[in-house]
Amino acid sequence: MTHRNDRSKTALSPDPILSVIVPVRNTVSEFQQCLRALSLSREDDIELIVVDDCSTENIRSIAEQHGARYFRLPRWSGPAAARNLGVRNAGGEIIVFVDADVLVVPSTLRTIREEFERNPDLAALFGSYDDAPACLDFWSSFKNLMHYSVHQSSRTEATSFWAGCGAIRKKVFGDVGGFDAVRYPEASIEDIDLGIRLTQRREKIRLLKHLQVKHLKNWTLKSLIYSDIKQRSIPWTQLILRSNYLPRDLNLSWASRVSAVLVAIMVVLAAGMTRSLIGPATWSPSAIMFMFICVISALLMLNQQLYRVFVGKRGMAFALSAVLFHWVYLFYSGTVFIFCSALMLLHGVFCSETSKSDVGRSLT
């Protein structure tokens, strides 16, 4: 693959310790804020690399204004390919990935460096979004606060990876083969895939809960559902079945799995209640209502940390709506897993790229 390799006019450290890589495609306003924030966190022996994923906007001039090295992919290839290109041209021993719609704080890069210095056996680390997303509408608040709560309640010894704000030793990244840009040509779970491969090699990954960054993305209901199903649930199910490995943290914790089952039971109970109201039923309405209340109580208990975040950050009215949509999220995520698993079982093959496209079209 050919690409343009342009060094900025700003002097660079000949021997950088950290190489910060920012993949970007057209998000100019967020990208400018991202680079300004990185400038406040950056020291002399840290290089900044911007990889332009074939944008139609003038990304190069913005990158050069902030002293970044600039590279451009010849065609739209996705963030996995962009990050891989950045790593190939990086001079640092530690690679730091920061999304173009993320704001670091002044201590972010120092925190990453110190963690690797203290732990020579550490292969990779990542942080989380903070609890104060830039966009305050319902969908953006729901998505970002859920991400924050999941990361803050997960184990520090991680079995996954997150590229929104994550770092990895360059040698380890090369040894494991980098991001899979062929399987993930758009924003997806390329970072989770990388994390599972690291885990299978018994590499040490750490979740730093105090390494928090601000997310600038404005979510809508359409973009949220598209991302959850097409870019997350479907490829994540395929990855689990292909690798025969099911992580036990982040979104796949035992609490999350049980919650998905409980929501499915709730749907069945609701159907039973409806049937009991219009005709003869196996169970009485009072029995169904009792079980329904038990299921809701279990869901509230299992997800109490998340729901407390909803209440604490946005108030009770927001929390009530967010809890209801969280149950909807659990339902369609669980449905996707069952559908994909059944499809693979019926066809007797693991997800080829053709079946991946077919499933994606059928669910979106």
CATH of residue 68's domain is 3.90.550.10
Residues 165, 45 share a domain: yes
Is 246 part of any domain?
no
Residues 279, 155 share a domain: no
Per residue in 116-126, is it b (16+ CB within 10 Å) or e — as a string?
A: beeeeebbbbb
Is 323 part of any domain?
yes
Report the 3 state secondary structure along the chain.
CCCEEECCCCCCCCCCCEEEEEEECCCHHHHHHHHHHHHHHCCCCEEEEEEECCCCCCHHHHHHHCCCEEEECCCCCCHHHHHHHHHHCCCCCEEEEECCCEECCCCHHHHHHHHHHHCCCEEEEEEEECCCCCCCCHHHHHHHHHHHHHHHCCCCEECCCCCCEEEEEHHHHHHHCCCCCCCCCCCCCHHHHHHHHHHHCCCEEEEEEEEEEEECCCCCHHHHHHHHHHHHHHHHHHHHHHHCCCCCCHHHCHHHHHHHHHHHHHHHHHHHHHHHHHCCCCCCHHHHHHHHHHHHHHHHHHCHHHHHHHHHHHHHHHHHHHHHHHHHHHHHHHHHHHHHHHHHHHHCCCCCHHHHHHHHHHHC
33: which 2 tokens?
């804020």
For residue 51, pLDDT beyond 70: yes
Is 119 part of any domain?
yes
Residues 295, 202 share a domain: no
Choose one of 176, 200, 219: the last residue of a domain: 219
For the beta carbon of residue 227, count every other beta carbon within 10 angstroms.
16
Choose one of 175, 199, 219: the last residue of a domain: 219
Mean pLDDT, the chain, rounded, equals 88
For residue 342, pLDDT beyond 90: no
Which range is most confident: 135-139, 244-248, 330-334, 355-359?
135-139
From CA 282, how far away is CA 59, in angstroms rounded?
A: 64
Distance of CA 169 to the CA centre of its chain: 20
Residues 272, 211 share a domain: no
Residues 273, 165 share a domain: no
Is 230 part of any domain?
no
What mean pLDDT do residues 66-91 have? 97
For residue 234, pLDDT beyond 70: yes
Residues 25, 120 share a domain: yes
Q: Which of 152, 101, 146, 91 is nearest to 126 (CA)?
A: 152
Is 91 part of any domain?
yes
- Model pLDDT, residue 280: 54
Residues 179, 298 share a domain: no
- Model pLDDT, residue 4: 40
Given a contact cutoff of 8 angstroms between Cβ atoms, the answer to whether 22 and 39 are in contact is no
Which domain, by its residues, includes 337?
251-363
- Model pLDDT, residue 289: 85
Query: pLDDT over 90 for what percent of the chain?
Result: 71
Higher pLDDT, 358 or 298: 298
Block residue for tokens 């069952």: 338
Is 228 part of any domain?
no
Is 124 part of any domain?
yes
Residues 278, 190 share a domain: no
Distances (CA, A) of 315 to 35, 280, 308, 319, 320: 33, 42, 10, 6, 9
From CA 126, how far away is CA 113, in angstroms rounded?
A: 12
Residues 158, 266 share a domain: no
- Furthest-apart CA pair in the chain: how many Å? 80
Residues 276, 215 share a domain: no
Residues 167, 265 share a domain: no
Is 215 part of any domain?
yes
What's the domain count of the chain?
2
For residue 349, pLDDT beyond 70: no
97: which 2 tokens?
């990935």
Choose one of 200, 219, 238: the last residue of a domain: 219
Residues 166, 118 share a domain: yes
